[in-house]
């Protein structure tokens, strides 16, 4: 217990941040009170605004405070290329790789044990988008985990039924990687996915 109940409340509230325990929360509280009250006030209002206003894009399901996110409403993006990812963080990563198409964010992956089925991933909306006829290719960029692969497989079946081309991002040696340190599963994928040069 500290000398102030407001401070205790702040410390407890900070513990809701992932990776922040009680000791770090205490250190952060003192730092803000002593050195950055202005930043803390800004953070409070940014949190409030973000939680109140940010919802999901009605088309791609990514986080946005608009009805249609800036990527979906951008006419310079290639609408014939649709990249399916698991989370908004993945959109960030793919954007960095200079991708110019549009996205569909699943907000999770198929996981029957956790009760996550196709309806939780918004696959009806994805089907709707494909039926509009603008999409020419769907790129499956789910994670390379068991659940990610299963989700990719399930969705690719769905895409094929719509007679649209479907592809999976390549698996192989990371750029800058050394063969000696690559696991055998990745190396086997790299060999079978070799390209003529």
DSSP 8-state secondary structure symbol assigned to residue 195: -
CA 52 to chain centre: 20
Site for its own copies in 72-101 (CB under 8 A): 87-89, 91-92, 95
Binding to its own copies by residue 22, rule CB under 8 A? Answer: no
By C-alpha distance, which of 181, 193, 116, 184 is closest to 150? 116
Q: Which of residues 34-63 bind its own copies (CB under 8 A)?
A: 34, 36-37, 39-51, 53-54, 57, 62-63
Asked if 7 is part of the footprint of its own copies (rule: CB under 8 A), the reply reads yes
Do residues 60 and 105 touch, judged by C-beta distance below 8 A?
yes
**H-assigned helices in the chain:** 5-14, 22-35, 37-53, 88-96, 123-131, 146-161, 184-192
Q: How far is the CB of 44 from its own copies (least distance, A)?
A: 4
**Which of 3-11, 78-86, 140-148, 154-162 is the region at the interface with its own copies (rule: CB under 8 A)?**
3-11
Residue ranges that bind its own copies, judged by CB under 8 A: 1-7, 9-10, 12-14, 16-19, 24, 26-34, 36-37, 39-51, 53-54, 57, 62-66, 69-71, 87-89, 91-92, 95, 107
């Amino acid at each position: 217990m500290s000398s102030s109940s407001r401070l205790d409340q702040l410390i407890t509230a900070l513990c809701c941040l992932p990776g922040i325990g009680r000791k770090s929360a205490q250190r952060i509280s003192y730092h803000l009170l002593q050195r950055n009250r202005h930043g803390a006030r800004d953070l409070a209002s940014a949190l409030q605004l973000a939680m109140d206003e940010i919802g999901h894009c009605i088309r791609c399901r990514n986080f946005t405070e608009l009805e249609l996110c800036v990527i979906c409403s951008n006419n310079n993006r290639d609408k014939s290329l649709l990249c399916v990812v698991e989370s908004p963080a993945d959109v960030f990563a793919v954007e960095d790789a200079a991708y110019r198409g549009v996205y569909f964010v699943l907000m999770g992956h198929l996981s029957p044990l956790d009760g996550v089925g196709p309806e939780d991933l918004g696959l009806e909306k994805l089907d709707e988008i494909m039926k509009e006829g603008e999409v020419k290719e769907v790129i499956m960029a789910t994670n390379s985990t068991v659940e990610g692969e299963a989700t990719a497989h399930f969705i690719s079946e769905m895409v094929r039924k719509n007679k649209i081309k479907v592809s999976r991002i390549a698996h192989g040696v990371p750029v800058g990687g050394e063969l000696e340190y690559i696991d055998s599963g990745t190396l086997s994928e790299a060999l079978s996915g070799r390209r003529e040069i």
